[in-house]
C-alpha cells in the first residue's frame, strides 16, 4: 500500500476546540496525528493559527466550509485557507432547506461550479464532502452525487469521500472509491453501527460495520493522499476516541507501510 497521511477532523473535537484551541492542537500532535482538517476557527486569526500549527508540527491540509459560508464569504475563506497553508477546501454540508427539490439542486451545482473555479484560481483545490442524501436523492435519473461530479469537471472538483455515510446510504464504499479513483485525495475513515431506530451511531475505527481494511486497500490504490479520522458523535470522551482510532490505523495500516 502507498503511504497516506493521517489527519484528524477537528469537528470531532469541536467542544475541546471551543474551550482551548492551542491545547487541543497540542494534544492532537502529541497523539501522533500528522495533520488536521478544520471545521471552524473559533475566532483565532489566521496568522496566530498558522503559528500554532507550526509550533506543533501539524499540517493544515484541508478546511471544511459549509454551503452557507461559501455563499457568504468565499474570499475570506480562501484567504484564511491560504494563510494557514491548507490545500483543500471541501464543501462540508448543505442544509435541508437549501436542497428541497430538483431546481434547488440545479442551482447548487451551478453555484458550486463557480466556487470551484474561484477556489482553483487561487491555487487551492475545491472538493465535495458527502453525506447520505447525495446518494439517496436522484436528479435526471442518477444520484445527486454522480450528477455533481459528472457536471463539474475532474480538475475543478475532487471528492472527499466519507465511507461511513456511503455505507449508511446502502451503497458500496469500495465501488465508490474505485469509481472516483484519481479524483479522491481525501477520505474520511469512519465507522458506525445502526441503532434500533435505524439511525447512525458513530464509533471508533474497527468497532462497527465498515470493512475498513478493504477500504484502506482501495484508498491506497485510488490515490488517496490523506486518511482523516472523524467521529460525528463520540461514545467515549473525544480525545480517547480519536486516540483509539489512530491506534487502530497504526496497527492495521501504518505497520503495513513500514511506519512503526
240 CB-side CA count, 13 A? 4
Domain that holds residue 89: 5-257
At residue 257, the pLDDT reads: 78
Q: Give the CATH number for residue 155.
A: 3.20.20.150
| Number of domains forming the structure of the chain | 1
Predicted confidence at residue 254, as pLDDT, reads 84
Mean pLDDT in each 10-residue stretch from start to end of the chain (260 residues)?
94 98 98 98 98 98 98 98 98 98 98 98 98 97 97 95 97 98 97 94 97 96 98 96 97 80
Q: How far apart are CA 185 and CA 90, in angstroms?
A: 11
Place of cell 487541543: 24
Question: Is 7:38 a contact under the CB 8 Å cutoff?
Answer: no
* C-alpha span between 106 and 94 (Å, rounded): 13
pTM value is 0.96
Distance CA 220, CA 198 (A): 31
Q: Give pLDDT, residue 93.
A: 98
Amino acid at each position: 500500500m502507498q503511504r497516506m497521511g493521517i489527519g484528524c477532523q477537528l469537528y470531532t473535537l469541536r467542544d475541546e476546540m471551543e474551550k482551548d484551541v492551542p491545547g487541543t492542537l497540542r494534544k492532537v500532535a502529541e497523539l501522533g496525528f500528522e495533520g488536521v482538517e478544520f471545521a471552524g476557527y473559533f475566532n483565532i486569526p489566521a496568522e496566530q493559527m498558522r503559528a500554532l500549527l507550526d509550533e506543533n508540527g501539524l499540517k493544515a491540509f484541508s478546511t471544511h466550509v459549509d454551503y452557507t459560508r461559501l455563499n457568504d464569504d468565499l474570499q475570506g475563506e480562501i484567504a484564511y485557507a491560504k494563510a494557514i497553508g491548507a490545500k483543500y477546501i471541501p464543501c462540508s454540508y448543505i442544509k435541508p432547506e437549501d436542497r428541497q427539490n430538483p431546481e434547488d439542486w440545479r442551482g447548487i451545482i451551478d453555484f458550486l461550479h463557480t466556487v470551484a473555479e474561484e477556489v482553483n484560481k487561487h491555487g487551492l483545490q475545491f472538493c465535495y464532502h458527502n453525506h447520505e442524501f447525495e446518494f439517496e436523492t436522484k436528479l435526471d435519473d442518477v444520484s445527486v452525487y454522480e450528477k455533481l461530479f459528472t457536471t463539474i469537471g475532474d480538475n475543478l472538483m475532487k471528492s472527499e469521500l466519507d465511507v461511513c455515510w456511503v455505507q449508511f446510504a446502502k451503497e458500496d464504499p469500495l465501488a465508490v472509491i474505485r469509481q472516483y479513483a484519481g479524483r479522491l485525495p481525501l477520505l474520511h475513515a469512519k465507522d458506525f453501527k445502526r441503532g434500533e431506530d435505524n439511525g447512525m451511531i458513530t464509533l471508533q475505527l474497527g468497532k462497527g460495520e465498515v470493512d475498513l481494511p478493504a477500504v484502506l486497500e482501495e484508498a491506497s490504490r485510488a490515490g488517496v493522499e490523506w486518511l482523516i479520522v472523524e467521529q460525528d458523535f463520540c461514545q467515549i470522551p473525544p480525545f480517547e476516541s480519536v486516540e483509539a482510532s489512530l491506534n487502530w490505523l497504526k496497527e492495521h495500516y501504518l505497520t503495513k507501510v513500514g511506519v512503526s
